[in-house]
């Protein structure tokens, strides 16, 4: 995250015009960076027990241990000048989901310009409180298409109000800085996948058909695994997997044995 003070004031002034009508203090947010935003980002890094990676060698060790996963370009997004194309598993999932929606909405690819950055490779003008060294941050290019920018900013503000990320529009160089909150985001994706929104809950009958108790299977974590890939492979949610193993974070390691709750198909 790069935060020149003069340019930030310009961003804040523009953002204020777009958000003055909000009456809800939670909803009245903008893409303006602030000390409070940095506080929230660093607080989430501590809650997730994330290490601030110091060197490229430590990045490689985190990749080998499965704490960071490769981010590979696809038909919906590309990487531009990304020195370390790795991120926390949930950040990689966020990029893929957002990119597919972005391309469908405005017809161009999303461009990722920065991911994990070790402390000794941070730009000189980067904030000393940047969460890029934790692997939970993503920088996205500022599109030249006004409609694409409008769509993306609307989505980022909506997700920020949901409490799954912090987003800032930077001016030098022009980009969006996103600090993703892995556990809240994983829970959000679980809810979206199951259709468990307030409206769908209201539409469901009071009496639900009882589900069969899940069968517990044992799974040995392999190199490159993440909670997301294991959950997807077995057809369970990340939250179910975490609860079955009393996990307080998404951190797992090769050789670890996990309990996987698997329900019989009917």
What does the DSSP assignment read for 183-211? HHHHHHHHHHHHT-SHHHHHHS-SS-PPP
Cβ contacts of 42 within 8 Å, gap of 6 or more? 129, 131
pLDDT for residue 6: 40
Same structural domain for residues 148 and 237? no
CATH number of the domain that residue 264 is part of: 3.10.350.10
Same structural domain for residues 26 and 143? yes
Same structural domain for residues 148 and 257? no
Same structural domain for residues 123 and 244? no
Same structural domain for residues 58 and 144? yes
- For residues 259 and 246, give the distance between their C-alpha atoms in angstroms, rounded to a whole number: 10
Q: Which of 140, 162, 183 is the last residue in one of the domains?
A: 183
- For residues 177 and 190, give the distance between their C-alpha atoms in angstroms, rounded to a whole number: 24
Same structural domain for residues 171 and 251? no
Same structural domain for residues 177 and 224? no
Same structural domain for residues 48 and 160? yes
Residue 197 in any domain: the answer is no
Cβ contacts of 41 within 8 Å, gap of 6 or more? 129, 131, 137, 166, 179
- For residues 67 and 221, give the distance between their C-alpha atoms in angstroms, rounded to a whole number: 12
pLDDT for residue 211: 47
pLDDT in tens, 90-131: 999 999 999 999 999 999 999 999 999 999 999 887 888 999
pLDDT for residue 216: 85
Residue 125 in any domain: the answer is yes
Which percentage of the chain shows pLDDT scores above 70?
80
State how many domains the chain has: 2
Residue 165 in any domain: the answer is yes
Number of H helices, E strands in the chain: 9, 9
Residue 119 in any domain: the answer is yes
Residue 95 in any domain: the answer is yes
CB 252 within 8 A of CB 226: yes
DSSP 134: G
Residue 171 in any domain: the answer is yes
CATH number of the domain that residue 139 is part of: 3.30.1380
Same structural domain for residues 221 and 162? no
Q: Which of 163, 183, 203 is the last residue in one of the domains?
A: 183
Residue 192 in any domain: the answer is no
pLDDT for residue 14: 43
Domain around 235: 216-266
Residue 215 pairs with which residues in a beta bridge?
262
Same structural domain for residues 16 and 138? yes
Which portions of the chain are predicted below pLDDT 70?
1-29, 195-214, 263-266
Residue 199 in any domain: the answer is no
Q: Which of 183, 208, 237 is the last residue in one of the domains?
A: 183
Same structural domain for residues 14 and 108? yes
Same structural domain for residues 58 and 116? yes
pLDDT for residue 202: 52
């Amino acid at each position: 995250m790069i935060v020149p003070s003069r340019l930030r004031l310009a961003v804040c002034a523009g953002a204020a015009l777009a958000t003055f009508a909000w009456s809800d203090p939670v909803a009245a947010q903008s893409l303006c960076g602030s000390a409070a935003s940095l506080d929230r980002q660093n607080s989430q890094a501590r809650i997730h027990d994330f290490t601030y990676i110091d060197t490229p060698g430590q990045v490689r060790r985190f990749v080998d241990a499965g704490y960071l996963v490769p981010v590979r370009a696809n038909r919906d997004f590309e990487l531009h000048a990304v020195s370390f194309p790795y991120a926390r598993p949930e950040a990689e999932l966020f990029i893929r989901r957002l990119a597919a929606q972005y391309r469908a909405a405005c017809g161009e690819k999303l461009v990722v310009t920065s991911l994990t950055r070790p402390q000794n490779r941070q730009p000189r003008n980067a904030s000393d409180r940047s969460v890029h060294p934790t692997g939970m941050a993503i920088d996205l290019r500022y599109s030249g298409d006004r409609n694409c920018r409008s769509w993306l900013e609307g989505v980022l503000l909506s997700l920020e109000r949901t409490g799954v990320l912090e987003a800032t529009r930077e001016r030098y160089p022009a980009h969006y800085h996103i600090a993703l909150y892995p556990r809240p985001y994983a829970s959000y994706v679980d809810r979206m996948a199951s259709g468990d929104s307030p409206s769908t809950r209201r539409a469901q009958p009071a009496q639900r058909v009882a589900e069969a108790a899940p069968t517990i299977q044992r799974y040995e974590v392999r190199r490159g695994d993440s909670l997301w890939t294991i959950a997807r492979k077995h057809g369970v949610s990340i939250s179910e997997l975490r609860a079955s193993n009393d996990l307080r974070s998404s951190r797992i390691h090769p050789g670890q044995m996990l309990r996987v709750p698997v329900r019989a198909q009917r």
